[in-house]
Amino acid sequence: MGAPLPDVIQTAVITGGANGFGACATRALHAAGFRVVITDIDQEAAGALASELDLAGDTAVTATLDVSKPEDFQTVLDKVVDRWGGAEVLVNNAALTQAMPVLDIDPAEFNRIMAINAGGCFAGCQTFGRHFKARGYGRIVNMASLAGQNGGTATGAHYAASKGAILTLTKVFARDLAAFGVTVNAISPGPMDTPMVHGIVPEDKMDGFLKNIPVGQLGAPEFVARMVTMLCGRDAAFVTGACWDVNGGLFMR
Q: Which residue numbers are catalytic?
A: 159
Is the Cβ–Cβ distance between 35 and 112 less than 8 Å? no
The secondary structure of residue 216, as a DSSP letter, is S
Report DSSP letters for 27-72, one per residue: HHHHHTT-EEEEE-S-HHHHHHHHHHH-TTSSSEEEE---TT-HHH
> What's the gap between Cα 19 and its chain centre?
12
Distance CA 239, CA 219 (A): 24
Locate all alpha helices (DSSP H) within 94-238, ordered by sequence: 107-135, 147-150, 157-177, 195-200, 206-211, 221-231
Distance CA 59, CA 79 (A): 14
